């Protein structure tokens, strides 16, 4: 069974950093690109970015709203994807979901990040 | 970026009704289109992938169709547990954009 479990969310002050983790199981993690998607309170879904598999160079792409502040990485030996969030803003407050990219996507349950002073 | 335009943004329907939600892409995305259902406080649930393939475990009253730029999600007979918000998402290119959502409410 495919499972994705996000962790690392919490309350953080504006301007600070936070790192989210996504631990995967039930599939060959290294074969898949992994994405992050977020949802601000009461709003729709927003794609944050993704990282390709190593077969495709583990390259990354980001939404314009987070480019230069957020970094996605992966550790295939541990089946974990990371979302490093720097220079956080109040508008980054959202539930962050990890998803397996590809023709049959899977989602985690999400982790809440609250950016507030 | 590919824009995904979903309509309507909300609808009211009764149990047993046939409901159709549409999603239009700003350029051709072949059949790289997924549909999700989301209930309050929960993660989105995949219903349809590759435009028309039913995810395992999803009731057969849900169906998807379309290719190119125009897609639709149909619920053949609305059930009480189907009242939720539905989103389309294209997986043809990055950024992997979502439609704005359709909230299905009880009439």
Pick from A45, A64, A105: CB nearest B98: A45
Tell me what pLDDT residue B106 has: 87
- pLDDT digits 0-9 by tens, B13-60: 999 999 999 999 999 999 999 999 999 999 999 999 999 999 999 999
Answer positive or negative: Cα dihedral of A33, B87, A106, A90. positive
Residue A105, pLDDT above cutoff 90:
yes
Nearest chain B alpha carbon to A64: B95
Q: How close does chain A come to B60, measured CA to CA in Å?
A: 18
The neighbouring-strand residues paired with B10 are B103
Cis before residue B73, ω within 30 degrees of 0?
no
Using CA atoms, how far residue A81 sits from A71, A109, B90, B95, in Å, is 11, 15, 22, 18
Task: Give B 37-96 residues with CB within 8 A of chain A.
Answer: 43-46, 49-50, 55, 87, 89, 91, 94-96
Using CA atoms, how far residue A19 sits from A11, A88, B73, in Å, is 12, 11, 36
Q: Which of A64, A12, A108 has the alpha carbon at shortest distance from B1?
A: A64
**A102 pLDDT band (50/70/90 cuts)?**
confident
User: Who contacts A62 (Cβ-Cβ below 8 Å, separation ≥6)?
Assistant: A48, A49, A70, A72
Which structure tokens are listed for B101?
Answer: 């959502």
Tell me what pLDDT residue A45 has: 98
How much helix, strand and coil, in percent to the nearest 5, is found in chain B? Answer: 5, 50, 50
**B103 pLDDT band (50/70/90 cuts)?**
very high
How many angstroms separate the first and last alpha carbons of chain B?
A: 36
Q: How close does chain B come to A58, measured CA to CA in Å?
A: 15
- pLDDT digits 0-9 by tens, A51-83: 999 999 999 999 999 999 999 999 999 999 999
């Amino acid at each position: 069974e495919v499972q994705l479990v996000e962790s690392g969310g919490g309350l953080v002050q504006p301007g600070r950093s936070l790192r989210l983790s996504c631990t995967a199981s039930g599939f060959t993690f290294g074969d898949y690109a992994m994405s992050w998607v977020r949802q601000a309170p009461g709003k729709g879904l927003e794609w944050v970015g993704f990282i390709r598999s190593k077969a495709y160079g583990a390259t990354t792409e980001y939404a314009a709203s987070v480019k230069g502040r957020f970094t996605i990485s992966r550790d295939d030996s541990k089946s974990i994807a990371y979302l490093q969030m720097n220079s956080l803003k109040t508008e980054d407050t959202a539930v962050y979901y990890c998803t397996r990219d590809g023709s049959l996507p899977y989602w985690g349950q999400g982790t809440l990040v609250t950016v507030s002073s | 970026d590919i824009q995904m335009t979903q309509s309507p943004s909300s609808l009211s329907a009764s149990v047993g009704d046939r409901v159709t939600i549409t999603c239009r892409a700003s350029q051709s995305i072949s059949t790289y289109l997924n549909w999700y259902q989301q209930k309050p406080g929960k993660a989105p649930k995949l219903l349809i992938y590759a435009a028309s393939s039913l995810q395992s475990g999803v009731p057969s009253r849900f169906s998807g169709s379309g290719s190119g730029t125009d897609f639709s999600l149909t619920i053949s007979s609305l059930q009480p547990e189907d009242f939720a918000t539905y989103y389309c998402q294209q997986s043809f290119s990055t950024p992997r954009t979502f439609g704005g959502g359709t909230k299905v409410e009880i009439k």
